[in-house]
């Protein structure tokens, strides 16, 4: 019995197929979060579930900030977003100068998952805002950096826009 060894080209997954796999994984995590939020809200006051969720995801952002280069510049945020492939996953456009950076995303697998679950617009907006605590925590993990969240897909806008700048 002969075993054929795959060539490097045969091992590569087409970019669009890989993006769909990554988006599916993100949607799975978004579904987990939504279902946990719903179940915890059945046994605890929803406001408490929201506050605890925000704190936990904010802490995640602080952990991400610790992995960022020092000194940290606003452009590092969007460059890392692009370099690690997240820009493709979220169909992002990024722009920056030495003083500020902007990340504009036109696709959100999290919002897709929440809508597929049949959640109300208000619930999607809430979960989206809670998820953004990670970005808020990441920004606050860098003294002198601010992150302003403008439009969001979760609010029904056609894109999300984050602006990162020096405070």
Residue 143's CATH number: 3.30.1380.20
| Domain that includes residue 72, residue range | 15-166
C-alpha 58/C-alpha 41 separation (Å) is: 19
Average of pLDDT values for 44-55? 98
User: Is-contact 35 109, C-beta < 8 A?
Assistant: no
Checking if the pLDDT of 157 tops 70, the result is: yes
Average pLDDT for the chain: 93
Which residues sit opposite 102 in a β-bridge?
95, 163
102 falls within a domain: yes
pLDDT tens string 87-111: 999 999 999 999 999 999 999 999 9
Which residues sit opposite 145 in a β-bridge?
166
Average of pLDDT values for 9-15? 75
DSSP state of 84: T
66 falls within a domain: yes
Q: How many domains is the chain built from?
A: 1
Average of pLDDT values for 126-141? 97
C-alpha 124/C-alpha 36 separation (Å) is: 14
């Amino acid at each position: 019995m002969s075993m054929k060894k795959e060539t490097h080209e045969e091992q590569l997954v087409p970019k669009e197929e890989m993006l769909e796999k990554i988006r599916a994984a993100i949607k799975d995590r978004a579904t987990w979060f939504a279902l946990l939020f719903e179940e915890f809200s059945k046994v605890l006051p929803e406001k408490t579930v929201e506050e605890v969720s925000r704190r936990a995801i904010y802490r995640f952002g602080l952990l991400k900030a610790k992995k960022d280069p020092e000194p940290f510049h606003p452009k590092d945020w969007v460059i890392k977003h692009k370099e690690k492939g997240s820009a493709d996953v979220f169909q992002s456009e990024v722009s920056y100068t030495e003083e500020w950076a902007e990340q504009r995303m036109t696709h959100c697998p999290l919002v897709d998952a929440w809508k597929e679950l049949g959640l109300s617009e208000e619930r999607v907006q809430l979960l989206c805002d809670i998820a953004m605590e990670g970005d808020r925590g990441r920004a606050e993990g860098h003294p002198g950096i601010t992150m302003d969240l403008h439009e969001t897909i979760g609010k029904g806008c056609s894109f999300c826009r984050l602006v990162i700048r020096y405070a």
